[in-house]
């Protein structure tokens, strides 16, 4: 079974546009769980332009499924994760001013940094995941850090899906097999949608979790959040 984790950053973006508490981020997260989401993902950034650090603290006691915090492991981010102790932390190599995640880690270059972080998180009972591309040597390096999982950066798949979906998915199949052989769990995320998710799921072995935000929230504007989650879950069957 592949779990669906709903990234609620865009909900916070709408709230922050006007101030106040509309939409209610905490209620939205709980509703996502009620409607079938297997987890909630947040990605706090230094400028707090969407998820605020206070949101993360407020969400922790409310989440009954899986809580995944992703982001660049700055000192402030690491302190947040160690205090909140989510089920999973996903390490992403975002620059502070990045609009969105646009690449995976060069693990070899950052090996010592990542290894020390992973040791620290695992000592605190937090499952770890490293955001990576499909380069097999890079995935082998990720396994050596001691991480529990990788999260495959799927923007290249989504971008090439319409032109040649078989060609687009092939590197991800190989990456997932490599990770599995190395004892790693496999997550995936970035630009997965109702258009391309089912094919990805059908072809990627050993897929533990997908984390989806932007496309899912856009679909919810038309379909409503309950029907949207139902349709994304249907893609994972």
Q: 43 an active-site residue? A: yes
Look at residue 230 in the predicted model and tell me its pLDDT: 98
In the three-class reduction of DSSP (H, G, I as helix; E, B as strand; rest coil), residue 224 is classed as coil
DSSP letter at 96 equals: T
- Exactly one of 33, 66, 70, 151 is catalytic; name it: 70
Structure tokens at 95: 């620059």
- Give the pLDDT band of residue 18 (cuts 50, 70, 90): very high
Look at residue 205 in the predicted model and tell me its pLDDT: 85
Structure tokens at 52: 């605020």
Percent of the chain with pLDDT over 70: 97
Structure tokens at 126: 């937090």
Measured at the CA of 19, the angle between CA 36 and CA 211, to 5 degrees, comes to: 30
Look at residue 96 in the predicted model and tell me its pLDDT: 67
pLDDT in tens, 195-207: 999 999 999 989 9
pLDDT in tens, 52-95: 999 999 999 999 999 999 999 999 999 999 999 999 999 999 87
pLDDT in tens, 111-134: 999 999 999 999 999 999 999 999
Given the structure tokens 């349709």, which residue do they identify?
Answer: 231
Look at residue 103 in the predicted model and tell me its pLDDT: 75
Q: 70 an active-site residue? A: yes
According to DSSP, the β-strands at 127-132 and 66-71 are: unpaired
Look at residue 99 in the predicted model and tell me its pLDDT: 59
* Structural domains present in the chain: 3-235 (3.20.20.70)
- Exactly one of 33, 50, 66, 190 is catalytic; name it: 190
| Residues in the chain, overall count | 237
- Exactly one of 43, 50, 151, 209 is catalytic; name it: 43
- Give the pLDDT band of residue 97 (cuts 50, 70, 90): low
Q: 190 an active-site residue? A: yes
pTM for the structure as a whole: 0.95
Look at residue 179 in the predicted model and tell me its pLDDT: 98
pLDDT in tens, 170-227: 999 999 999 999 999 999 999 999 999 999 999 998 999 999 999 999 999 999 999 9
């Amino acid at each position: 079974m592949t779990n669906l984790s709903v990234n609620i950053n865009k909900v916070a973006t709408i709230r922050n546009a006007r101030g106040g508490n509309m939409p209610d981020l905490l209620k939205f997260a709980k509703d996502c769980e009620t409607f079938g989401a297997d987890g909630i993902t947040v990605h706090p950034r230094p400028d707090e332009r969407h998820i605020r650090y206070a949101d993360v603290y407020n969400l922790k006691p409310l989440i009954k499924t899986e809580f995944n915090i992703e982001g660049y492991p700055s000192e402030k981010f690491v302190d947040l994760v160690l205090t909140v102790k989510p089920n999973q932390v996903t390490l992403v190599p975002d620059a502070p001013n990045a609009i969105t995640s646009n690449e995976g880690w060069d693990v070899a270059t950052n090996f010592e940094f990542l290894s020390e972080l992973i040791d620290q998180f695992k000592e605190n009972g937090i499952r770890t995941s490293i955001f990576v591309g499909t380069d097999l040597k890079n995935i082998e390096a990720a396994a050596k850090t001691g991480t529990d999982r990788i999260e495959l950066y799927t923007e290249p798949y989504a971008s090439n899906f319409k032109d040649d979906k078989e060609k687009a998915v092939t590197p991800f199949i190989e990456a997932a097999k490599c990770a599995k052989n190395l004892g790693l769990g496999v997550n995936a995320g970035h630009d997965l949608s109702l258009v391309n998710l089912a094919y990805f799921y059908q072809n990627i072995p050993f897929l533990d979790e997908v984390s989806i935000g932007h496309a899912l929230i856009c679909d919810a504007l038309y379909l409503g959040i309950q029907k949207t989650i139902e349709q994304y879950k249907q893609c994972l069957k």
